[in-house]
Amino acid sequence: VLPLAFFVTDSNPALIPLSLVVVFGSAKLMAEIFERLGQPGIVGEILAGILIGPYALGWMAPNQILTVLSDLGVMFLLFRVGLDIKSSDLMKVGGTAAVVAVTGVVLPFFLGWGILLLWGAPHLEAIFTGAAMVATSVGITAGVLAGKGLLDERASRIILAAAVIDDVLGLLVLSLVSSMARGKVNVLELCLTAAIALAFTAIVARWGSRTMHRVVPRVQKRLYVSEGEFALALCLLFGLSLLAVYAGVAAIVGAFLAGMALSETVERRVVDLTSGVSELLVPFFLAGIGLRLDLTAFASRGTILLAIVILIAAVLSKFIGCGLGAIRLGRKDAVRVGVGMIPRGEVGMVVAQIGLGMGVIAQGVYGTIVFMSVATTLVAPPLLKWAYRGARERREPEDGTARIG
Amino acid sequence: VLPLAFFVTDSNPALIPLSLVVVFGSAKLMAEIFERLGQPGIVGEILAGILIGPYALGWMAPNQILTVLSDLGVMFLLFRVGLDIKSSDLMKVGGTAAVVAVTGVVLPFFLGWGILLLWGAPHLEAIFTGAAMVATSVGITAGVLAGKGLLDERASRIILAAAVIDDVLGLLVLSLVSSMARGKVNVLELCLTAAIALAFTAIVARWGSRTMHRVVPRVQKRLYVSEGEFALALCLLFGLSLLAVYAGVAAIVGAFLAGMALSETVERRVVDLTSGVSELLVPFFLAGIGLRLDLTAFASRGTILLAIVILIAAVLSKFIGCGLGAIRLGRKDAVRVGVGMIPRGEVGMVVAQIGLGMGVIAQGVYGTIVFMSVATTLVAPPLLKWAYRGARERREPEDGTARIG
């Protein structure tokens, strides 16, 4: 353990530059090494987080600065991806995406639930584990696909649309299991939650783009403030992220919808400026996933076995569930969709944290879920590379603006 | 008071998007209004912070998220400004800048000290107040000059160089008064502090650019990772900011030196991506200054009088001190330099906070210093506009990349 860790205290004026240089520097170094080895740079950035984290080198522990940058990072990642997607393209695949989302929620839930019951866990713990296996973290997949210029593929659009729907379903599952843990299930309240979340998502996805078509050209040239169009885009991003949280879905869904609403009207300059922000912040999101991996949970051999079983179940259930949902598009696209929905990332961890906070989930199972979340995220990028082999990559080598992360 | 303030708690998932939308949105709205009225947008953004802050609308209080974004914001502001400055240009005006810095430190210090003694304050409190009046906050002036494309003017370069030297001198004054407050002045230690700070600044300013001339072209085309040159630039930025803190000067001095070291070698794309980050973050720095204005100190009439006297002394002492230092360049440039060095911004507040923490400064005097810091910052942009009237503005209307904040 290097002495760097000693510097990390809140009262230290070096904390911000130190956190920045250690996390960003190691993430980019590992990304460079992985790219040179022909592997996805994203995996390198997550591994960098594990490497510098408390259970390996011990250079860095999660702190408030990194949390803020990581939360902002995933927000800008999804915003940037949204800027490359036309909402009409996403609408076209809406039906298939809905099927993919539903089958990809049902199978992981029941599999996780069943495994925990077989392992002898209490009923509520089994239900929470199932819930933690439901939510897809679209950030990783979107990052890989955007980085390779593959967002235009049909499978990619289905993955993005399904991930948005998946987030709404995940919210419902979480609300349901939380109210079960509190011992009172209010069906009316659940329906209301569902209705608000669905209405928000559907309205913004459906009419956001059209509204911006009217608003942006009128405002664009009339602003006195410098980079006014970028400032307006950021206001929409932050506003819709906030509304998304109020509507009950994740802030990143709002961020993605904001990007998509602007994708057809906004000038190239806004996309470039956004790329600058996402290039800076996304490594903090990726390394942050690795930093949060907690290895103390794996003290007993039983937990290690459980973790491996859960990991396999998490990979297979999403792959089969989502793949079956997209099977009518042919085997190739079904495989791509199935692989793209595998990563759980930070979403699974949030569910596990809520369960832990409610006293429903034991520390060992919590560690298992965090391990599953990180491991599915590490597994996805190489699998995606394999599933998309032969696809025409939309490269923009002059300025590289299509690449993220 | 709107109910928004109730949402601002640390456990709230809406805290990040809420802070972003309220602070960024109001800052940009006020900037737009001010620009339309022909006033500097920067003043609007600081006033937005006062307006939404605890003593006016009460929508937002300073929180950890905003602190992180504000610290990063001023770092990127200075980095972005550095990217537009050749170190050789700054070296040419080094002699004059050193004189400006020294006279601009001596006069405010003794004036602040004398006023507090006349007011009947204890000796140490008077010394600390003098120290808080010393340090120039270059962020505001740099923002105004960059925004108007005036960084190429001779006076602008002198201001920037003097502000960097000023930061080293300010550090020494702070070290000196802190050790006086602790009751033991170690001359050898002070000299060592001075030597390290000066050596760091001089070495990076002198050889940074030359080193980058050798390193950047070699590395530039060999990176596999996307936007690799931008990632490298950020690593240099964070690394030099950290070294600056370790060397005893402010992180923003390191950020400025990093930008300047890269200014002659880096590609346009890196400048554009950096602009994206600074456009996002700088409003948090500006509004953050306004947010921290504490009006409770002005309960008594005596404190209000003291605040006004200190404000006038702060403006005049820097104007006359720095102006005299640059007088051999002619009256016009002397006025520009004098005006450009007026803002104290966050630097004065930091000194006051240290004094408060040591129990040397009373609450009333603390409030006075914070007021002086904010007010000098508000006064500078209109004065700069007046001092630079008739100067040839270097506009780049196609993409507007020369504009900041």
pLDDT grade, residue A324 (50/70/90)? very high
Give the distance from CA B198 to its chain's centroid.
19
Between CA B100 and CA B106, with CA B101 as vertex, the angle to 5 degrees is 100
Give the model's pLDDT for residue A84.
Answer: 84
Q: Are residues B331 and B151 in contact, defined by beta-carbon separation less than 8 angstroms?
A: no
| Chain A residues within 8 A of B28 when measuring between CB atoms | 225, 228, 231, 235
* Residue B400 at interface with chain A, using a CB cutoff of 8 Å: yes
- HSE-CB of B315 using CA atoms within 13 angstroms: 17
CA distance B379 to chain A (A): 20
Which DSSP string corresponds to A169-191?
HHHHHHHHHHHHHTT---HHHHH
Of A20, A227, A239, Cβ closest to residue B400: A227
| Chain B residues within 8 A of A41 when measuring between CB atoms | 224-226
Give the model's pLDDT for residue B13.
Answer: 74
With CA atoms as reference, the chain A residue closest to B405 would be A226
Question: How many helices and strands in chain A, by DSSP H and E?
Answer: 17, 0
Mean pLDDT of A307-327: 94
d(CA A356, CA A362): 7
| Chain B residues within 8 A of A254 when measuring between CB atoms | 17
With CA atoms as reference, the chain A residue closest to B26 would be A235
Give the model's pLDDT for residue B9.
Answer: 37
Quick one: DSSP state of residue B84? T
Q: Does the interface ipTM go beyond 0.90?
A: no
Of B28, B244, B274, Cβ closest to residue A276: B274
Of A16, A241, A273, Cβ closest to residue B276: A273
Please name the residue that has the structure tokens 């996402």: A278
Q: What share of residues in chain B are helix, strand, coil (percent, to 5)?
A: 75, 0, 25
Closest alpha carbon to B84 in B164, B137, B149, B166? B149
> For residue A245, what are its two tokens?
């949280």
Mean pLDDT of A187-202: 85
CA distance B355 to chain A (A): 16
CA distance B300 to chain A (A): 32
Is the pLDDT higher at A275 or at B89?
A: A275
- SS3 label, residue B346: helix
- SS3 label, residue B376: helix
With CA atoms as reference, the chain B residue closest to A30 would be B225
d(CA B84, CA B261): 10
Please name the residue that has the structure tokens 């905003």: B66
Mean pLDDT of A209-234: 87
- Are A234 and B273 an interchain contact pair (Cβ–Cβ within 8 Å)? no
Which DSSP string corresponds to A362-401?
-HHHHHHHHHHHHHHHHHHHHHHHHHTTT------TTT-T
> Per residue of chain B (405 residues), what is the pLDDT tens digit?
233 333 333 456 788 899 999 999 999 999 999 989 887 888 899 899 999 998 888 899 888 889 899 989 989 988 988 888 888 888 888 899 999 999 999 999 999 999 999 999 999 999 999 999 988 887 888 888 888 888 889 999 999 889 888 877 887 787 788 788 777 778 888 888 888 888 888 898 888 888 888 888 888 778 888 888 999 999 999 999 999 888 887 788 889 899 989 988 888 999 999 999 999 999 998 898 888 877 776 777 888 889 999 999 999 999 999 999 999 999 999 999 999 999 987 777 778 877 887 888 888 888 888 889 888 988 888 899 899 988 876 654 444 444 444
- Are B279 and A269 an interchain contact pair (Cβ–Cβ within 8 Å)? no
| Chain A residues within 8 A of B64 when measuring between CB atoms | 64, 68
Interior/surface letters B330-358, b for 16+ CB within 10 angstroms, e for the rest? eeebbbbbbbbbbbbbbbbbbbbbbbbee
- Are A24 and B234 an interchain contact pair (Cβ–Cβ within 8 Å)? yes
Say yes or no to pLDDT of A238 above 90. yes
What are the two backbone dihedrals, phi and then psi, of residue A211, each rounded to the nearest 5 degrees? -60, -45
Q: Are residues A223 and B31 in contact, defined by beta-carbon separation less than 8 angstroms?
A: no
**pLDDT tens profile A82-108:** 888 888 888 888 899 999 999 999 999
**pLDDT tens profile A115-148:** 999 999 999 999 999 999 988 888 888 888 888 8
Give the model's pLDDT for residue B394.
Answer: 60
Give the model's pLDDT for residue B280.
Answer: 96
Give the model's pLDDT for residue A398.
Answer: 42
- Are B24 and A235 an interchain contact pair (Cβ–Cβ within 8 Å)? yes
φ/ψ bin of B77: left (φ > 0), alpha (ψ from -120 to 50), beta (otherwise): alpha
- SS3 label, residue B61: coil
Quick one: DSSP state of residue A226? T
- Are B64 and A69 an interchain contact pair (Cβ–Cβ within 8 Å)? no
Of A68, A238, A280, Cβ closest to residue B21: A238
Other CB atoms closer than 10 Å to residue B176's CB: what's the count? 17
| Chain A residues within 8 A of B63 when measuring between CB atoms | none
Say yes or no to pLDDT of A395 above 70. no
- Are B242 and A18 an interchain contact pair (Cβ–Cβ within 8 Å)? yes
Give the model's pLDDT for residue A394.
Answer: 60
Q: Are residues A385 and A140 in contact, defined by beta-carbon separation less than 8 angstroms?
A: no
CA distance A299 to chain B (A): 31
Q: Are residues A314 and A376 in contact, defined by beta-carbon separation less than 8 angstroms?
A: yes
Say yes or no to pLDDT of A15 above 90. no
Give the model's pLDDT for residue B395.
Answer: 52
Is the pLDDT higher at A80 or at B172?
A: A80
- HSE-CB of A363 using CA atoms within 13 angstroms: 7
Of B14, B65, B276, Cβ closest to residue A275: B276
213-232 of B, contacting A, C-beta below 8 A = 223-228, 230-231
CA distance B75 to chain A (A): 10
Q: Are residues A281 and A240 in contact, defined by beta-carbon separation less than 8 angstroms?
A: no
Interface with chain B: mutation pick from A150, A219, A236, A238, highest number of B CBs within 10 Å: A238
Residue type, B120: G
pLDDT grade, residue A399 (50/70/90)? very low
Residue type, B122: P
Give the model's pLDDT for residue B94.
Answer: 86
Return the number of CB contacts < 8 Å for A and B. Answer: 157
Residue type, A249: V
User: Percentage of residues in chain A with pLDDT exceeding 90?
Assistant: 37
**pLDDT tens profile A351-362:** 887 788 788 888
Interface with chain B: mutation pick from A220, A227, A394, highest number of B CBs within 10 Å: A227
- Are A13 and B251 an interchain contact pair (Cβ–Cβ within 8 Å)? yes
| Chain B residues within 8 A of A15 when measuring between CB atoms | none
Mean pLDDT of A14-31: 93
